[in-house]
């Protein structure tokens, strides 16, 4: 199941009034569901069973350590809660969930702990209530036939499993919306695509757990029998988490290579990636598409490792040949990453992030929506971060000033839809201009950075330069299409 490890991006956002109010509502929902469960069943079931299941829940909670991104962790508490829904009823399941979330192995803000307790308790109660509402047997026994157990336990339990999955995704999406500004729909779909399939498997394991505990008469020892599949599932998530971390290390190594060669742009890739991700989320893209956009933004400038330092740190205007070499950094980046499988969905965004909406960009002169959406998102994020970053020839612009410049260029350099998304992103997220130190700027170029709008206009006005960029890179395969 998914839980919030720290749903906010900053302490200010984490403790804002909207987040606190939302957590208060979730806590009220948890109490209301527990109360409804008590009204429905008039008890908490077998106290001994509650203690055993609570112990298992605490163990599962303490073992959750697989960070799958966006500060979301996966645990197997949902299996315990699903089993509790049948074995000890909605009130007992609420107690199991709350008890599990109370125990922590790391320090967390009080509001995060309160949310997780309310979340787990709500999921437990809802599972029990939905199970009973779907016609689930309150106390299946060994005398029940296989078909009766399948229809009276298995089917209602799977319905309860779906309900728990949806509630978990909805409540998590809400807290991430108020604390981090991520649209609920985006986060909701992300959780369903990353953990929804796992919930189906959890439901099957939960059903086996119940059958062993009650009809088979194994009781609490059934917990031992389900440990093996639990650890197999956990191992699979470990591999997934390790793979994500390996990807991140690869990206970080590539970005470090660029920043070592061009230290004045330190942090630019990270900031562009964050802004591009926010833009993708605002436009409602799917989880995979958002990851591709973020990766493209992280790697959009790695081709600069192929550009001579004298061009990157020029102290005088560039010649035409040097302008062509600089413009080719996008395609050089494609050559560098083409063999990396997990970057495949980001290649279009890397190759075409200097295209212009009016068709006068490079390297392919694509126009309008023929430009891959990934590239259009990276283009806006790239320029906005450049404008709000200090240079050797100017101070960092304010957010409002930079937004005004980007807005004026909608329809010419940028996609108007993406520009509108930027406006919404900045209303939702805090963006702080970047001020480099004099030491960092000492080695920087004194001419305009290649991401400045004026430089884009220079290439737009010089078709002869754009033809050379395309003509000198005929060996590079440029996939066009991507996410639209």
DSSP letter (8 states) at residue 178? H
Task: Tell me the residue length of the chain.
Answer: 484
pLDDT by position in tens, the chain (length 484): 555 544 334 444 566 888 999 999 999 999 999 999 999 998 887 898 899 899 888 888 887 654 544 444 556 788 899 999 999 999 999 999 999 988 876 677 889 999 999 999 999 999 999 999 999 998 888 788 889 999 999 999 999 999 999 999 999 999 988 888 888 888 888 888 877 777 787 888 889 888 888 888 787 777 777 766 666 666 766 676 677 777 788 888 888 888 888 877 889 999 999 999 999 999 989 888 999 999 999 999 999 989 998 888 888 889 999 999 999 999 999 998 887 888 999 999 999 999 999 999 999 999 999 999 999 999 999 999 999 999 888 999 999 999 999 999 999 999 999 999 999 999 988 899 998 888 777 777 778 888 999 999 999 999 999 998 864 443 344 443 343 3
CA angle 341, 347, 353 (to 5 degrees): 160
What's the CA gap between 341 and 343, in Å, rounded?
5
What distance in Å separates the CA atoms of residue 275 and residue 290, rounded to the nearest whole number? 11
219: left (phi over 0), alpha (psi -120 to 50) or beta: left
Looking at the fold, whether 328 and 463 belong to one and the same domain comes out as yes
pLDDT number for residue 393: 87
* Residue 10: per-residue pLDDT: 43
Q: Report helix, strand or coil for 367.
A: coil
Enclosing domain of residue 429: 262-471
Tell which of 225, 252, 287 closes a domain.
225
The reply to whether 481 falls in a domain is: no
End-to-end CA distance of the chain: 32
pLDDT tens column, 300-338: 999 998 999 888 888 888 999 999 999 999 999 999 888
Residue 476 lies in a domain: no
CB 408 within 8 A of CB 390: no
Residues 304 and 201 placed together within one structural domain of the fold: no
| Backbone angles phi and psi of 3, in degrees to 5 | -140, 165
What integer pLDDT is reported at residue 192 of this predicted model? Answer: 86
Residues 114 and 209 in one domain: yes
pLDDT digits (tens, 9 = 90+) for 267-298: 999 999 999 999 999 998 988 899 999 999 99
CA dist 284 and 274 (Å) reads 15
Last residue of a domain, one of 197, 225, 253: 225
Q: What is the pTM of this model?
A: 0.66
Cis amide linkage into residue 363, ω under 30° from 0: yes
Whether residue 248 is contained in a domain is answered as no
State the CATH number of the domain containing residue 115: 1.10.1760.20
Question: Three-state SS for 432?
Answer: coil
Same domain, 6 and 134: yes
Taking residue 367's Cβ as centre, other Cβ atoms within 10 Å add up to 14
Q: What tokens does 177 get? A: 């919306």
In this structure, the answer to whether residues 29 and 153 fall within a common structural domain is yes
Give the C-alpha separation, 119 to 101, whole Å: 9
For residues 322 and 402, state if they share a domain: yes
**Alpha helices in 328-389, H assignment, sequence order:** 329-337, 347-351, 373-387
Radius of gyration of the chain (CA): 27
Residue 311 and residue 381 in one domain: yes
221 and 288 together in one domain: no
Q: Are residues 316 and 184 in the same domain?
A: no
Number of domains into which the chain is organized:
2
Beta-carbon contacts of 2 under 8 Å, excluding residues fewer than 6 positions away, are 72, 73, 74, 168, 169, 172, 191, 194, 195
Predicted pLDDT at 484: 38
Residue ending a domain, among 225, 252, 273, is 225
């Amino acid at each position: 199941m998914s839980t919030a490890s720290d749903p906010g991006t900053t302490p200010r956002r984490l403790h804002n009034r909207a987040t606190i109010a939302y957590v208060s509502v979730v806590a009220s929902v948890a109490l209301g569901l527990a109360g409804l469960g008590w009204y429905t069943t008039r008890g908490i079931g077998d106290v001994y069973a509650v203690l055993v299941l609570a112990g298992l829940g605490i163990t599962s909670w303490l073992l959750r350590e697989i960070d799958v991104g966006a500060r979301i962790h996966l645990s197997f508490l949902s299996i315990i809660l699903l089993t509790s829904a049948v074995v000890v009823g909605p009130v007992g399941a609420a107690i199991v969930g709350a008890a599990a979330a109370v125990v922590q192995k790391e320090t967390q803000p009080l509001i995060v702990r309160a949310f997780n307790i309310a979340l787990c308790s709500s999921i437990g109660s809802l599972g029990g209530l939905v199970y009973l509402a779907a016609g689930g047997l309150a106390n299946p026994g060994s005398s029940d036939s296989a078909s009766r157990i399948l229809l009276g336990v298995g089917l209602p339990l799977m319905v309860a499993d779906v309900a728990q999955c949806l509630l978990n995704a909805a409540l998590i999406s809400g807290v991430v919306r108020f604390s981090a500004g991520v649209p609920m729909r985006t986060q909701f779909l992300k959780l369903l695509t990353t953990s929804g399939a796992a919930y189906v498997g959890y439901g099957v394991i939960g059903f086996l757990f119940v059958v062993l505990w009650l009809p088979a008469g194994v009781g609490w020892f059934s917990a031992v029998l389900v440990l093996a599949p639990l650890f197999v599932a956990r191992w699979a998530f470990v591999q997934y988490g390790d793979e994500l971390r390996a990807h991140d290390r690869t990206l970080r190594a590539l970005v470090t290579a660029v920043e070592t060669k061009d230290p004045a742009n330190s942090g630019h890739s990270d900031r562009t990636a964050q802004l591009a991700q926010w833009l993708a989320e605002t436009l409602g893209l799917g989880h995979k598409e958002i990851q591709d956009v973020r990766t493209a933004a992280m790697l959009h400038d790695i081709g600069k490792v192929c550009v001579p330092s004298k061009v990157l740190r020029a102290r005088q205007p560039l010649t035409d040949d040097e302008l062509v070499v600089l413009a080719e950094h996008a395609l050089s980046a494609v050559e560098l990453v083409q063999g990396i499988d997990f970057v495949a969905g980001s290649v279009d965004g890397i190759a075409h992030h200097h295209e212009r909406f009016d068709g006068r960009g490079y390297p392919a002169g694509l126009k309008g929506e023929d430009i891959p959406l990934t590239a259009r998102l990276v283009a806006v994020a790239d320029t906005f971060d450049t404008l709000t970053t200090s240079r050797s020839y100017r101070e960092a612009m304010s957010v409002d000033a930079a937004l005004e410049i980007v807005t004026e260029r909608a329809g010419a350099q940028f996609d108007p839809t993406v520009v509108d998304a930027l406006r919404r992103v900045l209303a939702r997220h805090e963006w702080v201009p970047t001020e480099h130190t004099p030491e960092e700027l000492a080695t920087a170029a004194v001419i305009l950075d290649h991401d400045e709008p004026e430089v884009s206009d220079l290439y737009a006005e010089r078709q002869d330069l754009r033809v050379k960029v395309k003509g000198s890179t005929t060996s590079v395969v440029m996939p066009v299409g991507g996410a639209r």
